[in-house]
């Protein structure tokens, strides 16, 4: 129910009109995976997040958190204190994403050696090709 519009409700990634154009929450955002990981253990303050996220700027962190909030994966709670305190946490929805993420992360960890080897082999072949083409 709640038929607001004729929303197709598809996740067919091959449909150019898919309402979720790329992978939700994680797609097209460099820091999203790491931010999810940082919130895994419980609510964190803005400045707490900046510590493990080495190199992120306040601007990018704020933008990322807002985007993830808009997708329902993160909730922002502002406390009326001085100095101000704001906490970010995973929503129940966001938390359900941790499992699928783990699958990909585990794969990366387990196959890192193979990935590095592939890269080396590829670069070796590239060099060989370049020499052969002389």
Partner DNA sequence: CTGTATCCTGAAAGATACTG
Partner DNA sequence: CAGTATCTTTCAGGATACAG
* Residues of this chain that bind its own copies (CB under 8 A): 4, 7, 9-11, 13-14, 16, 19-20, 22-26, 28, 30, 33-34, 37, 52-55, 69-73, 93, 96-97, 99-101, 103-109, 111-123
Q: Between vectors from CA 13 to CA 104 and to CA 22, what angle results, nearest 5°?
A: 65
Residue 20 or 58: the one with the smaller Cβ distance to its own copies is 20
Whether 49 and 10 have beta carbons less than 8 Å apart is answered as no
User: Residue 77 touches which of DNA, its own copies, none (CB < 5 to 8 A by kind)?
Assistant: none
Whether 105 and 97 have beta carbons less than 8 Å apart is answered as no
Residue whose C-alpha is closest to residue 35's, from 13, 54, 8, 10: 54
Site string for DNA, 80-99 (x = CB under 7 A): ---xxxx-x-----------
Binding status of residue 56 toward DNA by CB under 7 A: yes
């Amino acid at each position: 129910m709640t038929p607001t519009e004729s929303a197709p409700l598809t996740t067919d990634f091959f449909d150019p009109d898919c309402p979720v154009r790329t992978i939700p929450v994680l797609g097209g955002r460099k820091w999203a995976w790491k931010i999810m990981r940082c919130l895994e253990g419980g609510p964190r303050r803005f400045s707490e997040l900046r510590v493990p996220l080495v190199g992120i700027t306040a601007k990018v962190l704020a933008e990322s958190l807002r985007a993830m909030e808009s997708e329902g994966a993160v909730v922002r709670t502002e406390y009326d204190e001085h100095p101000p305190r704001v906490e970010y946490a995973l929503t129940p929805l966001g938390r359900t994403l941790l499992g699928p993420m783990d699958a990909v992360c585990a794969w990366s960890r387990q196959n890192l050696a193979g990935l590095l080897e592939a890269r080396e082999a590829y670069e070796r072949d590239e060099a060989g090709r370049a020499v052969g083409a002389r």
